[in-house]
Structure 1
Amino acid sequence: MSETTAQRTSEAGAAPERGPGGRLLSVLVRVREVSVLIVTVGLVIYFQAANPAFLSESNILSLARFAVPYVVIASALCLLLICGELDLSVGQSFAFAPIVMYLAYDKLFLVLPLAVLVGVLAVALVGLVNGVITVYLGVSSLITTLGMFFLLA
C-alpha cells in the first residue's frame, strides 16, 4: 500500500517536460529581482516610445548627473541593509550638509572649497556619532538613527 502511494506521488509530482523557453520563464517567475529588471526595461521602452529623445546621449548624461547623489546614498544603504542595520537619518544628513556648507561660506566667510570640506566633515561626524553609539554602546541602529533624524530636523 505505501509502495503504491509513493509511486503515485512521484508520478504526480513530476514536472512536465518543458522546452528552453519554458525553463527560462520558470526561472524568471521564481526570481524576484528579475521582475525589477522587467519593469525597468518596460519603462525604458515606454519612455522611448513617448519621447524619441529619451535615449539620446544628452538626456542620459543629464539623468546620470542628477542621479549620482541618490546612487551613492542608495549604495551605502544597501551595504547597511546587507549587514542587518538600518539608517533612518540619511535623509536629514543629506539635507544637513548643504546647510552647514552655506553657513560656513556665508557666515564664517570661508572660501568655497573649505566650506564644502566643512560640510562633508560635519556629515562624517554625524555618521561617526551614529556608529559609535550603535557599536560601542550597543544601542540598536534603528533607535540611534531615529534619534539623529530628530536631532537634525
Structure 2
Amino acid sequence: MWLFCQTLKEYMLFVERVRLHAKTMTVGAAVHRAVTECIREGILSDFLSQNRAEVIAVSIFEYDEERELALMRKAIASEARKEGHDAGHKEGREDEIKSLIRTKLQKGKSIPQIADELERDEMTIKALIQGMGDEAE
C-alpha cells in the first residue's frame, strides 16, 4: 500500500509540474520539461526513463483534452447565462406590455385600439389578454 501511495504522490507532483510549466510555455514543452525535471529529481524516474516517449505523447494528449473540456464547459456556461438573460429580458418586456394592456382595458379601450397604440397586431394582444386570464387562475 505504501508503494501505491508513493507512486500516486509522485504522479501528482509530475502533473503539477506540467500544469505549472504550461502557464508559460506550450503543452509539449511543458511536458518535456516536467519529465526531465522529475527524472533528475527521482520522481517516477524509473518509469519516466523507461517510457519517456509514451509518457510525453499521452501527457500532451491528456492535458490538451483537459484544456478542451474546460473551454467547452466555459462556453456552455456562457451560452446558458446568455440564454437566461435573453429569456429574462423577453419576460420583462412581455410583463410590461401586459401591464399596459391591463391599464388600457381598465380605461375601456378596445382590442383594436390597444393594438394600434402598442403597435402590435390584434392577435398578439388577444393572446396576451388570454394569457393574463390564465395567470389569475
State if a TM-score over 0.5 links the two structures: no
Instruction: State the TM-score, normalized to the length of structure 2.
Output: 0.29
Q: Which has the higher contact order (CA 8 A, sep 6+)?
A: 1
| Larger radius of gyration between Structure 1 and Structure 2 | 2
The structure with more helix, counted as a fraction of residues: 2
